[in-house]
Amino acid sequence: MKAKPNAAANFQELERVITGQAQPSRVHLVELGVDQEMERYVTEEIFGNKWVDDTEETRRAFARQHVDFYARMGYDFAPGGSGFRNMPQFKDRRAADTAGLSRGQRRWVEEGGGIIKNRDDFERIDWEGIRGDFRRLEEMRAVLPEGMKLVVIASVFEMILERFLGYQDLFMLSVDDPELVEAVFERWGQKVYDYYSQALEYPEVGAIFHADDLGFKTATMMSPEFLRRNVFPWFTKYAALAHERGRTYWYHCCGNVAGVMADLIQDVGIDAFHSFQDVIVPIGDFLDRHGPDIAALGGVDVDNLGRMEEPDLRVYVRKILDECMPRRFALGSGNTVANYIPVRNYLAMVDEARCWSG
């Protein structure tokens, strides 16, 4: 099957599809992110361009390269430059990266505990010095093709769970010192709010794509009551901020959050939900349950994207498209396009989106 050429970027149509105001004229693509190793391979081997490393001297060229990747692959947006300056030094672990497109060394969080053990640790952090970093966003907005937008990404619960407090300490402190936990959420939640507020001043930013993993295979990691007290009030503020500024609020969340989905839809007011594992809920089933209320983004289970042979993967992706089009839906990986995903499988998923005709 010969792939159709990329359609011109049309973030406005994607936005109208997500909000249920229009049916899609084609399959739109959505990713929370594509690992840089995949971007590099496609840039060099598919586009035939020399890769530009991300250095202080090549920041503008790197931003153009990043935007060009998403534009040429058929996306209506690129993940915008997100981040914060003057962050404290967090703990992490490192090991050899054995992925097909290896980055040499892989880093992951220290789960046992973060940098805040008590009130003194909390007070020692220079919270006032932490502020949003918009340099990359500035560089990207200058090279956006017509019809394309940026989305900005940050996290609250996940940053506190993995970095500030750590898994075990968050779990224990939520019982032993709930006031400290609430203080951390108040401080960091406000930092994220300020970041989003500043980012939405840029007309090139089309949406907030908030990313916070709340669950595991069968439930949320913290009780619904904990989330309603410490997390969802911030989500509600972010969604309201996006809507007040005429943008949409997309939410990426791994794990089983069926027990709080009503909170997310009715109270928080998310416009779209992203991150799907078939073992938890296939995206077609999710749309059957919640489709009239919110959009579903992604849907291609990363385990299948990583393990299936290409012909089987294509059949699987077509099934998703047959079930989900033309509803409030955009296609992509169920999580992110990691560097261990076979390139041929990523390209096959994108190609099926281009070729699908209903």
Q: The domain that contains 306 carries what CATH number?
A: 3.20.20.210
Evaluate whether residue 99 is within a structural domain: no
Residue 65: which domain range? 11-83+132-154+176-355
Please list the pLDDT of the chain residue by residue as tens digits (358 residues): 333 446 789 999 999 999 999 999 999 999 999 999 999 999 999 999 999 999 989 999 999 999 999 999 999 999 987 689 999 988 777 778 787 887 877 777 777 889 999 999 999 999 999 999 999 999 999 999 999 999 999 999 999 999 999 999 999 999 999 999 999 999 999 999 999 999 999 999 999 999 999 999 999 999 999 999 999 999 999 999 999 999 999 999 999 999 999 999 999 999 999 999 999 999 999 999 999 999 999 999 999 999 999 999 999 999 999 999 999 999 999 999 999 999 999 999 999 999 998 7
Evaluate whether residue 289 is within a structural domain: yes
Evaluate whether residue 321 is within a structural domain: yes
CB 356 within 8 A of CB 318: yes
How many other C-beta atoms are found inside a 10 Å radius of the C-beta of residue 118?
Answer: 11
Residue type, 102: S
Evaluate whether residue 92 is within a structural domain: no
Four-CA torsion 18, 353, 33, 293, nearest 10 degrees: 20
Query: Residue 171 and residue 162: Cα distance in Å, rounded?
Result: 12
Count of structural domains within the chain: 1
Evaluate whether residue 61 is within a structural domain: yes
Evaluate whether residue 306 is within a structural domain: yes
Evaluate whether residue 324 is within a structural domain: yes
Evaluate whether residue 136 is within a structural domain: yes
CB 80 within 8 A of CB 136: yes
